[in-house]
Amino acid sequence: MSVLYSLSAWCYHLMKPWTAAAATVLMVLFMVIVLPQEADRSSQITGSSRSPDTSLFYTPSELYDIAEEYGEEGRAYYIRSRFSFDIIWPAVYLLFLVSMLSQVYSTLQIPRPWKLLNILPAAAVLLDFLENTTVSLVMFQYPQQMIPAAAAAGVFTFLKWVFIALSFAAIAAGGLLQLRSRFMRSHR
């Protein structure tokens, strides 16, 4: 647990307002420019607009349907992009979420365990990498079926989205706590 507290404290120390501002600009640029371009390139090469990464959940059968739709070239592209583009994208959203959470929770008077919320997005990134690894394994081995890997991939994807949603919810909750704190100070 002390490792988590140390990591959290390091993030609070490192993430300044300018870091949060830069991370926000980077996140917006990625969402407006890079992600749409990557989605277009992916759908052209794979011949499908479906992607395990953007699904909330999928079964092994649905993952194998996607693998078949992609074809050999599409599967090879998918694997390459998971270990190039899809390493950069999680780094971008990790920086954004950690910097925002660190800014929001840095001045709040809350119990120490709640201060760990600033590293919550790290769980999403870990799950994202696990998702990429298991889906890539399924794509690489296709048509041979690896049901345990395919089943795990769907779980990793679902949990990734849960932790991303929890991170955004924690930002919103922290923002509300900040507003409440300011309101209480101004009405003393």
pLDDT of residue 112: 93
Rounded to 10 deg, the angle between the 121-141 and 147-186 helix axes is 160
Tens digits of residue pLDDT in 48-95: 999 999 999 999 999 999 999 999 999 999 999 999 999 999 999 999
First to last CA, the chain: 38
Rounded to 10 deg, the angle between the 60-82 and 147-186 helix axes is 70
Q: What is the mean pLDDT of residues 22-33?
A: 98
pLDDT of residue 183: 87
pLDDT of residue 1: 79
Tens digits of residue pLDDT in 147-182: 999 999 999 999 999 999 999 999 999 999 999 988
- CA–CA dist 77, 96 (Å, integer): 27
pLDDT of residue 186: 83
Best CA proximity match to 123, nearest among 183, 82, 166, 80: 166
- CA–CA dist 71, 139 (Å, integer): 10
Give helix then strand counts, H and E, for the chain: 7, 0
Whole-prediction pTM:
0.94
pLDDT above 90 for 185: no
User: In this structure, what token pair is assigned to residue 39?
Assistant: 């989605």
